[in-house]
Amino acid sequence: MSEYKKSERVAAIVRMLTDSPNRLFNLSYFMEMLNAAKSSISEDLDTIDNVFKNLGLGELETVTGAAGGIRYIPRKDKSKYREFIDGLCINLSKVERIIPGGFLYTADILYTPSICSEIGEVLASCFASKKPDYIVTVETKGIPPAFMTARALGVPLVICKHDNRVTEGSSVSINYISGSTKNIRTMSLSKRSMEPNSKVVIIDDFMKGGGTARGMMNLMKEFNAEVLGIGVVIATREPKTKLVDDYVSLIELVDIDEEKGTVELKCGNWERL
């Protein structure tokens, strides 16, 4: 019989499962750690699944078969995500966030782990069913939200760079045209970064013209990777026609008026998914 009580086993199992979202744990892992019978662990997992569902804290997914087990999926009710995004919109529309030139200061939001973790969870929930092998982003500000999306999906992140660092070995480079400024820029990725023929989702912090996302799509072609989708934290309403056809945004930036000191933000198109 287990030396641990049910509530103690549950505490340990929740800690392990939620610390590695989407990682598949074999039941024997918990049986050994807690010196418990399979039937006890199964009951514990049912308890956890029930209360998580009741309180909207995520879900447990059972995979059957010899290589099967249990994994934690950090999927919450849409209403909870909606509440979170609405809160973000209020925070981001503060007048002091307006930067001369019509930009919006967002770094504090993206670089605060508790907020960025939730952003990653919402983005992950948009693409989880597509089962990507990697999340792809480009330096710099997109890295934290892309990394937290990757964490929620339990897959590695791949970071494209704006120069060729000698420390990562041979790389593939492409040129692309910034959608808004029309400047030519270079983007490169180490050949070791990903397996060929992978499935990827592109994540970035911001999209205006869509040139950067288009650049990443072109770079992915060089790796024979299939792009399953594109997700951004904030997308501008204008220009309506972007250089990528399809993307998911958490927040839509409708307008920044420097004169009046107003920022208009709306919930993005992520809810439609």
Using CB under 8 A as the criterion, which residues of the chain lie in contact with a copy of itself when the complex forms?
Answer: 4-12, 14-16, 18-20, 23, 33, 44, 47-48, 50-52, 55, 57-58, 99-101, 103, 105, 107-108, 111-114, 116-117, 139-141, 143-144, 147, 150-151, 154-159, 161, 166-169, 190, 192-193
Strand, coil or helix: what is 58?
A: coil
Q: How far apart are CA 160 and CA 217, in angstroms?
A: 11
Q: How far apart are CA 181 and CA 183, in angstroms?
A: 5
Angle at 147 between CA 143 and CA 148, to 5 degrees: 125
Shortest distance in whole angstroms from residue 139 CB to a copy of itself: 5
Specify the residue, 8 or 264, whose C-beta has the smaller distance to a copy of itself. Answer: 8
Shortest distance in whole angstroms from residue 99 CB to a copy of itself: 4
Shortest distance in whole angstroms from residue 108 CB to a copy of itself: 7
Specify the residue, 100 or 245, whose C-beta has the smaller distance to a copy of itself. Answer: 100
Contact 217, 201 (CB under 8 A): no
- Please name which of 163, 251, 246 lies closest in space to residue 206, comparing C-alpha atoms: 251
Terminus-to-terminus CA distance in the chain, angstroms? 46
Specify the residue, 258 or 271, whose C-beta has the smaller distance to a copy of itself. Answer: 258
Shortest distance in whole angstroms from residue 221 CB to a copy of itself: 21
Shortest distance in whole angstroms from residue 152 CB to a copy of itself: 8
Angle at 33 between CA 23 and CA 7, to 5 degrees: 90
Strand, coil or helix: what is 9?
A: helix
Specify the residue, 5 or 240, whose C-beta has the smaller distance to a copy of itself. Answer: 5
Specify the residue, 234 or 250, whose C-beta has the smaller distance to a copy of itself. Answer: 234
CB contact set of 155 (below 8 Å; sequence gap of 6+): 22, 132, 133, 134, 135
Contact 7, 40 (CB under 8 A): no
Specify the residue, 43 or 252, whose C-beta has the smaller distance to a copy of itself. Answer: 43
Shortest distance in whole angstroms from residue 10 CB to a copy of itself: 5
Q: How far apart are CA 33 and CA 28, in angstroms?
A: 8
